[in-house]
Every structure is written in structure tokens, then in C-alpha cells.
Amino acid sequence: MKKKKVNLRDLDPNEHQGEHSHNDGHNHSSPEEASNFKTYLPAIFSFVMLITGIAVDYFDAFPFFRGWVRIIWYTVAYIPVGFPVIKEGWNSIRNGDFFTEFFLMSIATLGAFAIGEYPEGVAVMLFYAVGELFQNAAVNRAKGNIKALLDARPDEALVYRNGDFVSANPETVEIGERIQVRVGEKIPLDGILLSKKASLNTAAITGESKPDTIAKSEKVYAGSINLDGVIEVKTTKEFKNSSIARILDMVQNATARKSKTELFIRKFARIYTPIVVFLAIGLTFLPYFFVSDYVFRDWLYRALIFLVISCPCALVISIPLGYFGGLGAASRNGILFKGASFLDAMTKVNTVVMDKTGTVTKGVFKIKEVVNKSNFAEAEFMQYLMAMEEQSTHPIAKAILEYKADGADFEATEVSEVAGKGLKGTVNGKQVLVGNKALIVSNGIEVPSETDTIVESIVMVAIDGKFAGYVTIADELKEDAHQAIKQIREAGISKIIMLSGDKDSITQQVSEELDIDWAKGGLLPEDKLNEVEKLKTQPDTTVAFMGDGINDAPVLAASDVGIAMGGLGSDVAIETADVIIQTDQPSKIARAIKIGRSTRRIVWQNIGLAFGVKVIVLILGAGGLASMWEAVFADVGVALLAIFNAVRLQKKRWE
């Protein structure tokens, strides 16, 4: 699906607020308004007028407070809170949308005035307005994470041009330019650290508040805050492709992707609302044919109660708010869901399939063991090996060159590559072979049998025709790899599988170390895809796949939920995935599952609460046992309770 292009400079955190509104005629959405006393003034004015009127009615202290004086008093109380709703209902009708909650509220309250129930008519609109204020406050709070991301968006970059650092718009900075970041400033673009080290607050990117120490030549991300000393960075991405821009784009698009529950409730409300209008009409007139002492006013009053109770505000407001709270809570925990539908999908996952390299391992090769069988000291043995590996660009060569050997560096000459086997050359006048077993054996040199049982990648060395030793190279497990598997199981996942392109022996070793149910290595991208497709054909199986590389993109797209590593992961994997783990921590999968389940639980609690209370009060209202005050509670009161329930997501912690 083609993604909508987003102008990040124009991104409005309030754009998707007010899910139950149908046009621009009745917009309470701005947080600036919510914090302004003027926003609350209409409700305060109506409340004072209503309470005063009820008190005068009750004590009958002023004889003149009757007739037209009383009508005018309650009308004045009604207008500040009622007029915006009536206007919204009228605008909806003009747009062809007759049966909205605004229409129901307008008919019910105007009908209450028509039969002389003025306080009830004002109360319905007043409590509706109060509910709107609470809803806006809750939504603004839920959007705090997105606004924090907007605040993290850098406004300027100090770029080295014409011999000096000059201020420029980050969008104009090109790849490869050098930028300077002072203490307390945000890094404006993704890049490589040129300074010796840096201490950064990466909370906007990773969700982790603790400072992160970055060494020279390591990656840094836009939106991170420099905590200590002036640093310099070489840019590696344009601003539009930077991490912070990508996150903003994903979060904004996430609000537009509705869950099935949200879509169902919206469709339901459009069918449900006209039904209750016709039922209310029937409740008003049909008893005439069946009741001997029929009184039109009494049955009209019951019908008006019926209309107020049946208003779907609690559902239409609280369900999107619940999902939005879940999306915000996830982003605060370093997890980006690309839509509410994926929050739902995550709750159904029962099989987790993961890649190995870069997912549960760091994707960085390290020397695991040096076995020296020569007459040289280990440091000198390594000097021969390192001199040869300096001529190679292989990732394993880079790992070997990180070894710290004492003494003068050796120099290799006449180095040539033996295809698929390794290197041969001369170091300090000695003939040196560096490579796999096939290279050593093909030169008539005997290899110790102990090497046959080694699982890790192995680099063998022969010097002047004699086997000199070997080095084993392994990818390190991420610090939270064991914790991740444990927590995934605790989250109720029945099957954990590892599929890797690395050789099968290494994959099996890592799988066994992590206690993974089943593993398979030596797979091409299409092989991984085939394995996941097989899993999906099994009954009652919902598959989440977690990976980080370009080769994982096909299987990320094919799985029920695709999860990508956001830090180390390739852009293709991140674009394809449904969920992004910004911190590259596999342990966040279990947290993503828990957040999805908490969100779904709260949404269904709100649905049950709204329907349960409404059905009870509807029956009481139809039987004449409930007044307009009970109707107000069934409508606005339940909406408020549902909002407060949804707000719990913003305070909840998942460990």
C-alpha cells in the first residue's frame, strides 16, 4: 500500500482528535483552548445558572420565578452548552448525516423544553459539555508522547561550510556534511560520531531515559540530546529519512489506521442510531392503541429519556481514545505500532518466529577464542594473522583486527586471494596461509581433528608449511536475549522458532543456548518465507516474525505481525514491518504483546460498561421508572467512566 506523504514541518498533533465529531463546526480539540479559561466558561456559566434555578424551584423563595421568567432563565442556561451541539447536528444534517449523537441530544433536550422539563434539558447538554472537556483533556494527555516527539524535532543545524559552522535548516543539509552539536542541543540529522565520545539522551528515539555513551565512528540519531561537551557528526541521511522524521511519519499514520473494533463500532453506531430514533417515535405513539389511560406527555417524556440514554457517545469517544492511549503507551516504551489494528493483531499472536543475526545477536563479530599451536607468543602469532587480514574487507577480518597485540605491526606482501578458501602471502619473510580448513588441507598441511567439532566460524593459520593455530569468531548475544525468550513464554506464546541465514550449526547452538523450541539455519530469504507460510497454514496459528535485514522484508510482509529492529534494522525492513522496536531489544516483544492485551481489555471493558448500563436504564426508562437524570448518567456518566478507564493506559507500566 502506498504511504501518504507527510510534511513534517506542518504536522499537527491535534489533527486526529475528536473522533466523534463529523465536521469543523464544533471543535474543542486544541490543547491551548483546553488550558484556557474561556473553554470552561460556557459550562461554568450554565452550571451556575442551572444550580441557581433548581434551588429557587426547590425552595420556591421567589414567587416571580414562574412562567416566562423561568423559561427565559433556563433558556439562557441552555444556550452556551446547547447551541454548539444543535449547530453541529444541523451541519451534519446538511451534509447528509441525519442520525448522529448531536441530533439525538438536540431532539431530546428540545423535547424536554417542549414538555416543561427545563432543568433536565439543560442538565443533559451541560453534562455532555463537561464530558467533552474531560475527553479533550484525556486525548491531549494521550498525545503527550507525540507532542514530545514534535518537540524533539530539531529546528536548526550548525553545518561546516566555507571554513565555519553556520546555522541552516536541517532539511537543507546534505549527506556527508559535518555538523556541530553543542551541549543541550538536539542532533539534527542521523550520522556518524566524529568526536572521541558523546553522552546522549535518546529518549525521543528509544524510549529509554538513561544517558547513552557513544564512541567515535558509532551511529547517532536525530532527536537525541547532547549532554556533555561539543561534538561533531558526519551526516549519513537526509532529514526526511532521519530516525525522528521516520518516527513522526509512522506515529501520525498510526492514528489513521483503525482497528476492526473501531470500524465495527462506527458502522454499528450508524445503524443503531436511526433504529433508536424510530423506537422512540414508536414509544411515544404506539401505547395509544394499547393503554387505556394514555397520556401523550408522559410517553413523550419516556421517549426523550430513551433518546438520551441511547446516545452512543461513550462508545464513539472511549474506544478510539483507548486505542490511542495504547499507541502512546507503546511509543513511550520504545515500540511503534503502525496502527491500532496491529495492537489488536498482537493480542492474537501465539507463535513468534525470529531471525538470529541482528535480532537476538548484536550482528557484530568478536574473537571468541585464540588457539596458538606455534612456537611464537600469542601476540606474535596474532600479528601474522592480522597482517594478512588487513588486506581483506570481510566482516570477520574486521573482528580480528580489533585484537590488541603488543609490539611492532607486521606487514604482509604478495597477498593473493584463493576463491572460497582464504588468503596466502608473505609476512616478515615467512609464507602465511589464512583461511578455512580447505585452504590449509589443499596445501598439504594436517589440521588437528579438534577443529571438526567447532561450531563457530573458524579462521586457521599456517606459517611456513606448518599448522600454527586458529581463531574462533562468534556473534555475541544481545544482553536481553535470554530475558526476551523467558518473557515471551511468560506472555503465553506457545511456540518460539528461529530461522536464520547463518550456517545451521551456529543457529542450532544459539537456539539451544536460548531454549528456543525449534531452529533452522542456512536459509535464503525465500526459504524463510516458505517456512512462515507453512506455519500460517496450521490451524489456530497467528505468526509474528521479528527481523532486521533487507532479506527479512518478504517474511515480515507475509507474517500476521511483522516486527523490525528500528536501530540496526534496514530501511526496507522498517518500512515493511507493522511494529518497530526502536531500542533493538528483543525483550520488547513481550511488552508489545502486553500493551496490546491491556489496550484490548480496556476497550472491551468500555464496550461492556456502555452497553450494560444503557440496556438497564433503557428498560427502566421505557417502563417509566427512570427520569432524565438517570438518562444523563447512562449517557454522559458512562462516557466519563469509559474515558477515565482509557486514561489508565497512560499511567500503566509493563515490566
Active site residues: 355
What would the 3-class secondary structure string for 294-311 be? CCHHHHHHHHHHHHHHHC
Four-point Cα dihedral 76, 77, 82, 87, nearest 10: 20
Residues 6+ apart with CB under 8 A from 146: 13, 251, 252, 328, 331
CA distance 433 to 329: 56
Beta bridge partners of 354: 498, 546
CA distance 234 to 174: 10
Amino acid identity of 34?
A
Residue 636 is given by DSSP the state: I
Residue 531: CB atoms within 10 Å: 19
Cβ-contact 374, 463 below 8 angstroms: yes
Beta bridge partners of 220: 191
Alpha helices in 287-436 (DSSP H): 296-310, 313-332, 340-348, 378-389, 395-401
Residues 6+ apart with CB under 8 A from 522: 500, 501, 502, 503, 504, 507
Q: Considering all CA atoms of the chain, what is the largest pairwise distance in Å, rounded to the nearest integer?
A: 120
CA distance 305 to 629: 9
CA distance 311 to 84: 17
Residue (of 152, 132, 148, 300) closest to 223 by Cα position: 152
Ramachandran area for residue 182 (φ above 0: left; ψ -120 to 50: alpha; else beta)? beta
How far the first Cα of the chain sits from its last, in Å, is: 34
Beta bridge partners of 479: none
Residue (of 391, 369, 381, 371) closest to 463 by Cα position: 381
Residues 6+ apart with CB under 8 A from 59: none
Give the Cα-Cα-Cα angle 621, 51, 108 (nearest 5 degrees). 35
CA distance 402 to 217: 14
Residues 6+ apart with CB under 8 A from 448: 373, 467
Cβ-contact 463, 430 below 8 angstroms: yes
CA distance 133 to 126: 11
Residue (of 434, 440, 437) closest to 422 by Cα position: 434
CA distance 651 to 202: 21
Residue 393: CB atoms within 10 Å: 7
Cβ-contact 100, 92 below 8 angstroms: yes
Pairing state of beta strands 351-354 and 495-499?
Answer: parallel
Pairing state of beta strands 543-547 and 561-565?
Answer: parallel
